[in-house]
């Protein structure tokens, strides 16, 4: 039994991590092949060589061998590597600011990828129905894709734990299908195996230097989703992900070689853009064409599902870190405590995915936008790695990243910029918008903190004891949300001293999000220098990836509050930027709503602030 559970632990990443990179064969070689068909079919050798070496250099060496070693308690991802590197460079303020902006831009690029991944994945799989023989128009394909998208996002509320156990078996069937299909055509045209030789890449540059960057940008689509290997380390583990990657790599590269062989054999039959993958099935095993369409659709839905779940987690993290406004979340699993559903992000993402499908109309058009955001995260991860290994005094790895991998990453990034006007602007502008919102929100929080007038605890306790002695008390226990016990929030002063709302027992509750991703600590202390013996203090320290249930924590302390008070700022300003901040602040859940306090017990006290 133990060996079986270990086996499933090691193959589980197949259904969670590799959906995106695993569905890249649907469109990657097809885009390259359609480009070079009118020029020289032999250029396919250099293109397949490019794909092979991209998978080796970026996925195997940069990520699996180097970047995945930079983690906090086994966690990875753009926000994690930002925190990791910033912890190494505490004394260099200038470098900290650069790393902070880079990390936030990397996070923003990941979010922009979250819009394009479901759009290109679903649309490319549905496009396969055009080859069945029925007269499906572009409108029909988009309409069906939209229906699939609506169904996928509508199911998010139920959570994925009930069906996620099916993901891995489906993806195993998918990868084995890719392997067998690729093997079949590789055997028919074994000369394609010579593409392992990187000299074919040089030949590709020499033969077609003008289109080389375009071909390179399309080949980069083979590693979309590589960031998932790093980001999913926390709940799957590095070892299972790397071991699963060996299997995925063999299946993918066999299929890519097979697609290259198919192109050499049948390039004359390719009269319009269609996925080579579907052509291969139709030519070799036509009776399996419809089952393959269904399998492809399931694989792309799984790839999209993984990205959607990642978006929920990412926006929860940014809420905890104070980088973006809080988002209301709902637990969807009693067994998996970190599985959440974020309604606002779900429906916003669905609308953006549908609009992307309508705007671009086909997966080949989306491919012009797709890839740039992936490239940005790859370059940023490489730069972060260089800084981290320099500070760790591992100069060999740092030089490898700086002299070999960073120039390659930058070349790939440059290759994507030629697509800027035909769609590449989409993820770039999206990432800039998200980054701008992060910077506006964090600046607004800093300005707000300067405007709020706090009272020192020593002064507060003197006034409190005098009031408690002379004023009537309300039966029960009041909890006041507070940042720091030493600095009493203005809303508390207003509530107790101005409104004379005084409960028999009063507890300050401080929630501090730590720099570590995991771990929850909490304690209750009776405030010693309080002569009334009516003041208590609850301190909760939690990692920014933790799903925090304050109600449960309070219950474990045998505390049953009568009411929970929290501060709410009503912001007025003449500044355009601060107006954006005020709008974000006003339309985000309050702290008690975010942490799911019973609404019947909560009271918000407003403080008017001019920024």
pLDDT at 54 over 90: yes
Backbone angles phi, psi at 452, to 5 degrees: -70, 130
Whole-number pLDDT of residue 389: 94
Contact status, residue 299 vs residue 19, Cβ threshold 8 Å:
yes
Runs of H (alpha helix) within 232-322:
233-236, 238-266, 276-284, 289-321
Kindly report the number of other CB atoms within 10 A of residue 176's CB atom.
12
DSSP collapsed to 3 states, 170-190: HHHHHHHHHHHHHHHHHHHCH
Residue 470 class from Cβ within 10 Å (0-12 exposed, 13-18 middle, 19+ buried)? exposed
* CA end-to-end span of the chain: 62
Query: How many Å apart are CA 228 and CA 231, to the nearest integer?
Result: 5
pLDDT at 473 over 80: yes
Among the listed residues 46, 329, 430, 331, the one whose alpha carbon sits nearest the alpha carbon of residue 202:
46
275: left (phi over 0), alpha (psi -120 to 50) or beta: beta
Query: How many Å apart are CA 532 and CA 505, to the nearest integer?
Result: 10
pLDDT at 1 over 50: no
Q: Give me 160's structure tokens.
A: 């994925």
87-135: pLDDT as tens digits: 888 888 889 889 999 999 988 988 888 888 889 888 888 888 877 766 7
Average pLDDT over residues 31-47: 83
Give the rounded percent of residues in the chain with a pLDDT score beyond 70: 94
Contact status, residue 286 vs residue 132, Cβ threshold 8 Å:
no
Between 547 and 160, the higher pLDDT residue: 547
Query: pTM to 2 decimals?
Result: 0.84
Whole-number pLDDT of residue 185: 95
Whole-number pLDDT of residue 194: 94
Judged by average pLDDT, the poorest of 252-266, 380-394, 504-518 is 504-518
Contact status, residue 150 vs residue 357, Cβ threshold 8 Å:
no
pLDDT at 253 over 80: yes
Domain covering 2-441 assigned CATH 1.20.1740.10 in the classification: yes
Q: Note the Cα 272 to chain centre separation in Å.
A: 35
| Of 303-307, 347-351, 545-549, highest mean pLDDT | 347-351
User: What are the residue boundaries of the structural domains of the chain, listed by start?
Assistant: 2-441, 452-610
pLDDT at 237 over 90: no
Q: What is the DSSP string of 47-98?
A: HHHHHHHHIIIIIIIIIIIIGGG--BTTB-SHHHHHHHHHHH-TT-HHHHHH
pLDDT at 21 over 80: yes
Average pLDDT over residues 211-225: 87
Angle, vertex CA 241, rays to CA 237 and CA 243, nearest 5: 120
Judged by average pLDDT, the poorest of 158-162, 307-311, 430-434, 441-445 is 158-162
At residue 595, the 3 state secondary structure works out as coil
Average pLDDT over residues 530-546: 87
Average pLDDT, rounded, for the chain: 86
3-state helix, strand, coil in the chain (%, to 5): 70, 10, 20
Runs of H (alpha helix) within 268-424:
276-284, 289-321, 343-360, 363-369, 372-391, 395-400, 406-417
Give the rounded percent of residues in the chain with a pLDDT score beyond 90: 34
HSE-up of residue 435 (Cα within 13 Å, Cβ side): 18
β-strands 487-488, 520-526 pairing:
unpaired
294 Cβ contact list (under 8 Å, min separation 6): none
Backbone angles phi, psi at 552, to 5 degrees: -65, -40
pLDDT at 571 over 70: yes
pLDDT at 602 over 90: no
Between 443 and 274, the higher pLDDT residue: 443
Orientation angle between helical segments 199-207 and 44-54, nearest 10 degrees: 130
Q: What is the DSSP string of 543-554?
A: ETT----HHHHH
Question: Tell me, what DSSP letter sits at residue 539?
Answer: E
260: left (phi over 0), alpha (psi -120 to 50) or beta: alpha
The residue assigned the tokens 């609404």 is: 599
The residue assigned the tokens 């005084």 is: 502
Contact status, residue 550 vs residue 472, Cβ threshold 8 Å:
no
Among the listed residues 515, 495, 445, the one whose alpha carbon sits nearest the alpha carbon of residue 605:
495
548 Cβ contact list (under 8 Å, min separation 6): 511, 520, 540, 542, 595
Q: What is the CA radius of gyration of the chain?
A: 27
Confidence of residue 332 (pLDDT cuts 50, 70, 90): low
Average pLDDT over residues 264-268: 85
Whole-number pLDDT of residue 163: 56
Confidence of residue 272 (pLDDT cuts 50, 70, 90): low
- Whole-Å CA distances, 357 to 115, 119, 432: 10, 6, 21
pLDDT at 197 over 50: yes
Whole-number pLDDT of residue 45: 93
At residue 505, the 3 state secondary structure works out as strand
């Amino acid at each position: 039994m133990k060996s079986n559970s270990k086996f499933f632990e090691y193959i589980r990443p197949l259904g969670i991590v590799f959906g995106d990179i695993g569905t890249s064969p649907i469109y990657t070689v097809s885009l390259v092949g359609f480009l070079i068909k009118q020029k020289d079919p032999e250029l396919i050798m250099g293109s397949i060589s490019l794909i092979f070496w991209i998978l080796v250099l970026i996925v195997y060496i940069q990520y699996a061998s180097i970047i995945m070693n930079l983690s906090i308690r086994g966690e990875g991802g753009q926000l994690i590597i930002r925190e990791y590197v910033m912890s190494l460079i505490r004394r260099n303020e200038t470098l900290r600011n650069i790393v902070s902006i880079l990390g936030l831009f990397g996070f923003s690029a990941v979010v922009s990828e979250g819009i394009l991944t479901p759009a290109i994945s679903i649309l490319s799989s549905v496009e396969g129905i055009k080859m069945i023989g029925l007269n499906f128009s572009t409108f029909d394909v988009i309409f069906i894709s939209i229906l699939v998208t609506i169904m996928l996002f509508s199911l998010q509320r139920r959570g994925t734990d009930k069906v996620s156990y099916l993901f891995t078996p489906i993806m195993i069937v998918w990868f084995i299908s890719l392997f067998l299909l690729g093997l079949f055509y590789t055997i028919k045209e074994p000369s394609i195996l010579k593409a392992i030789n990187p000299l074919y890449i040089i030949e590709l540059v020499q033969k077609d230097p003008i289109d080389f960057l375009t071909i390179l940008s399309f080949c980069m689509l083979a590693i979309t989703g590589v960031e998932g290997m790093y980001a999913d380390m926390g709940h799957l583990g590095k070892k299972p992900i790397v071991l699963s990657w060996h299997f995925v790599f063999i299946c993918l590269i066999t299929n890519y070689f097979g697609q290259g062989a198919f192109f050499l054999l049948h390039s004359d039959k390719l009269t319009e853009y269609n996925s080579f993958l579907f052509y291969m099935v139709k030519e070799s095993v036509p009776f399996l064409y419809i089952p393959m369409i269904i399998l492809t659709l399931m694989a792309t839905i799984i790839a999209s599902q993984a990205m959607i779940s990642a978006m929920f987690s990412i926006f929860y993290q940014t809420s905890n870190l104070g980088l973006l406004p809080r988002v209301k979340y709902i637990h969807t699993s009693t067994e998996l405590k970190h599985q959440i559903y974020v309604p606002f992000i779900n429906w916003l993402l669905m609308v953006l995915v549908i609009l992307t499908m309508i705007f671009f109309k086909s997966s080949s058009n989306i491919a012009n936008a797709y890839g740039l955001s992936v490239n940005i995260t790859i370059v940023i991860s490489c730069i972060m790695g260089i800084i981290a290994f320099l500070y760790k005094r591992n100069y060999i790895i740092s030089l490898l990243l700086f002299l070999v991998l960073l120039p390659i990453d930058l070349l790939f990034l440059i290759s994507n910029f030629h697509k800027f006007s035909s769609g590449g602007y989409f993820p770039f502008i999206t990432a800039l918008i998200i980054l701008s919102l992060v910077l506006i929100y964090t600046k607004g929080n800093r300005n707000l903190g300067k405007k709020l007038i706090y009272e020192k605890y020593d002064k507060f306790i003197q006034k409190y004891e005098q009031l408690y002695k002379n004023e009537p008390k309300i039966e029960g226990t009041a909890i006041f949300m507070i940042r720091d016990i030493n600095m009493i929030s203005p809303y508390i002063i207003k509530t107790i001293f101005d409104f004379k709302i005084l409960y028999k027992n009063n507890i300050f509750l401080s929630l501090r999000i730590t720099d570590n991703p995991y771990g929850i600590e909490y304690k209750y202390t009776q405030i010693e220098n309080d002569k009334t013996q009516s003041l208590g203090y609850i301190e909760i320290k939690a990692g920014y990836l933790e799903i925090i249930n304050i109600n449960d924590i309070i219950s474990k302390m045998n505390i049953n509050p009568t009411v929970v008070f929290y501060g709410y700022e009503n912001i007025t300003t003449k500044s355009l930027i601060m107006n954006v901040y005020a709008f974000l602040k006003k339309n985000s859940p309050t702290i008690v709503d975010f942490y799911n306090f019973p609404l019947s017990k909560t009271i918000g006290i407003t403080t008017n602030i001019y920024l």
